[in-house]
Chains A and B, each alone.
Chain A
Amino acid sequence: MSGTTGTAAPADMAAPATGSRTGDRIEALRAEGRAALIGYLPIGFPDVERSVEAVLAMVDAGVDVVELGMPYTDPVMDGPVIQRAAEAALAGGVRARDVLRFAEAVAEHTGGRVPALVMSYWNLVLRYGVDPFARDLAAAGGAGVITPDLIPDEGADWIAASDAHGLDRVFLVAPSSTTERLRLTAAASRGFVYAASTMGVTGAREQVGERAEQLVADTRAAGAERVCVGLGVSTGDQAAEVGRYADGVIVGSALVRTLLDDDTPWAARLDALQARTADLADGVRRARPGAASRGTRS
């Protein structure tokens, strides 16, 4: 599998400091003329050991930002693929605190180059304690948290804790969000704003929602500096299409699916994961042919 390790270093150094690890990374890639590839895997699937392996394999195959999913009993934003993986991970005994190991492993493996964001339903963070979670995640080298069921209106504790510990906080916007809510969410987010491409849950789709491009434009107009698109992206071609207009392409179910089949040997599943990742990584690289190697968006 083609790794991209090292190629971004000069751009990294040229990138403006955004006050956010993920923000810096995305800006560095923007300077290279492309969108970031953000890859999601649930921790603990099929078990903690193998899932660390899978996350690092995904990094080696070309994701720019890692999204570590915390398995949860009631994942209302997730479709069947991620639900199944989460259920299996929980049955395998994964614990919330295990996510810290993953953040550490990614930071070590990449020398801090690849930011690791945690994606967690809110009750898990609440139960851990909002400030303790932020403190421990920052200490483990994690970059921040994506919160699918926490809106900024309910997030006062999290905003304070993420400020205190220098973490990114990624809130979501959806095609149904009003202009007022886009403004509120853009102002509350750090790192990037997560634009849900469609009204729906995670899962591969034939087509990425046609409202995604408009939503990205509207979210930028509402003040967001970086907007990444998730839900439904599964192929390199879709990544190329979304990478044309978004600052990052978020892929989950399509990656998780490569690991699901118990009857396939683990090594073959890792190969499939890397092949899928490489295809997506290739997609974001051909999204903007001829883009300058400087940031072009004004």
Chain B
Amino acid sequence: MPDQPVRDALTESLAHQVLGRLADVQGPYFGDFGGRFVPEALIAALDELETEYRKALGDPAFTGELARLHREYTGRPSPLTEVPRFAEHCGGAEAGHRVFLKREDLNHTGSHKINNVLGQALLVKRMGKTRVIAETGAGQHGVATATAAALLDLECVVYMGEEDTQRQALNVARMRLLGAEVVPVTIGARTLKDAINEALRDWVANVETTHYLLGTVTGPHPFPEMVREFHRIIGEEAREQILERAGRLPDAVAACVGGGSNALGIFNAFLDDDAVVLYGFEAGGEGVDSGRHAARFSGGAPGVLHGARSYLLQDDDGQTLPSHSVSAGLDYPSVGPAHSWLHDLGRAAYEPVTDDEAMEAFRLLCRTEGIIPAIESAHALAGALRLGRRATQEGRTGQVFLVNLSGRGDKDVATAGRWFGLLDDAGTHDAGQDAGHATEGDR
């Protein structure tokens, strides 16, 4: 996809006039997307949540406590790291592009997920609920939720597709160590979307005592807006840091997009800076043409899933299509409604990155900078490499790229080990072996 053409710039300035600041748009709708397509039984709880969260954000007791936790527990602000050796591969050393990583991987629990989880968990306390449930794919959101539940003394149940409990056995153990109950979901495709179905069913039945601690900017209103609010700190810190370090705004911001929380979190601070181009990188899996991917914008169409209208992988009947990605965290057939809105406005561009491209970028960051990224985040790194090449080809030099490094790769070592054939001489010969076994062989 080319850089924003003039037509999009016009749409954009029109959008500013009509909408005011893009960064502050409130739900239930983001343009044509979002809403509340859920059973009536949940509406009262969603209304309560919306009221409480709006009140909380205006209450210094709440925002102060969250800020304290982020400082003393999460480890915020997360650093901004320039990665010059990696940048040499980004459109060629002569082009002089600079790459900065926003280090959400250094947060407690290893990803950006904790930002949202602590915010919602504090809200749960305010609402007087005692139990939280969550869905998880890779396990990062489940681990973050189990962590906050331990910290704040909440009962915690995490739903996880059976297939993912096997792929991510280590994170299952982490959640159980933290005191959470992990429920493998054995119906449907047995992955993230089915875990969300099961969490929604639990929520309908237990909504009086239970909060559904949704892990990304999807779902019914107010989740997409509220989860953005809890992640906007990523972009706010990064904007300040890069102004200080590079002396100017970045030319482009890159993030991976599963549900879209880390991307929206970093985009948000730049939405109203028209000169900053925003790129979301989706899981292209084995290639969009293969049908095995999670590229909702290249391979999907607007539809409703899990409470919101957004771009969706679906068949001609509206049945949800299975998604595929080497990274469990991007393996989801829909996407947050705010991204669909930004896509249709032309304010952000979304491109697929294949498994192969992501794994190459994964290895490159390990080798050039000594940082093992989450495979999810490696999609953003691969995207940055592409942006650098494209800039060089188009004669633009000295570009500044800001990449959200949403998580660290500890959880992915077994997958990467198999991918690159690193486990062979450790006695693990079967490349098809699942993560649990490979991890055991590794120990």
Q: What is the total number of residues of chain B having a CB less than 8 Å from a CB of chain A?
A: 35
Report yes or no: A127 in contact with B317, Cβ–Cβ below 8 A: yes
Report yes or no: B193 in contact with A127, Cβ–Cβ below 8 A: no
Interface residues of chain B: helix, strand, loop or mixed (majority): mixed
Interface residues of chain A: helix, strand, loop or mixed (majority): loop
Assuming the contacts A74-B188, A124-B317, asked whether A79 and B40 have C-beta atoms less than 8 A apart, the reply is no
Q: What sequence of 0s and 1s flags, for each residue 301-313 of chain B, a beta carbon within 8 Å of any chain A beta carbon?
A: 0011111000010
Tell me which of B43, B197, B208, B318 contacts A126 (CB under 8 A). B318
Cβ-based interface call for B216 (8 A): no
Q: Please give me the residue from chain A that is nearest to B316 by CB atom.
A: A127
- When distances are taken between beta carbons in the complex, the residues of chain A under 8 Å from B43 are 151, 176-177, 181
Assuming the contacts A153-B36, A201-B201, asked whether A74 and B318 have C-beta atoms less than 8 A apart, the reply is no
- When distances are taken between beta carbons in the complex, the residues of chain B under 8 Å from A97 are 317
Report yes or no: A126 in contact with B303, Cβ–Cβ below 8 A: yes
Cβ-based interface call for A132 (8 A): no
Report yes or no: B39 in contact with A174, Cβ–Cβ below 8 A: yes
Report yes or no: B205 in contact with A149, Cβ–Cβ below 8 A: no
Number of A-B contacts (CB under 8 A): 114
Cβ-based interface call for B44 (8 A): yes
Q: Please give me the residue from chain A that is nearest to B201 by CB atom.
A: A201
Q: What sequence of 0s and 1s flags, for each residue 152-179 of chain A, a beta carbon within 8 Å of any chain B beta carbon?
A: 0110000000000000000111111110
Tell me which of B40, B205, B305, B317 contacts A151 (CB under 8 A). B40
Cβ-based interface call for A291 (8 A): no
Nearest CB in chain B: distance from A288 CB, A: 28
Report yes or no: A172 in contact with B187, Cβ–Cβ below 8 A: no
Q: Identify which of B36, B197, B319 gathers the most chain A CB atoms within 10 Å of its CB.
A: B319
Q: What is the total number of residues of chain A having a CB less than 8 Å from a CB of chain B?
A: 42
Report yes or no: B40 in contact with A171, Cβ–Cβ below 8 A: yes
Assuming the contacts A172-B40, A177-B43, asked whether A74 and B204 have C-beta atoms less than 8 A apart, the reply is no
- When distances are taken between beta carbons in the complex, the residues of chain A under 8 Å from B207 are 176, 199
Report yes or no: B40 in contact with A123, Cβ–Cβ below 8 A: no
Q: What sequence of 0s and 1s flags, for each residue 34-53 of chain B, a beta carbon within 8 Å of any chain A beta carbon?
A: 01111111111100000000
Report yes or no: A76 in contact with B41, Cβ–Cβ below 8 A: no
Identify 17 residue pairs between A and B in the complex whose beta-carbon atoms are under 8 Å apart, listed by A's number: A73-B188, A73-B320, A74-B306, A75-B197, A76-B200, A76-B201, A83-B187, A83-B188, A96-B317, A97-B317, A125-B318, A127-B303, A127-B318, A154-B35, A181-B40, A181-B43, A196-B39
Which 5 A/B pairs are nearest by Cβ-Cβ distance? Answer: A127-B318, A174-B41, A200-B205, A96-B317, A176-B44
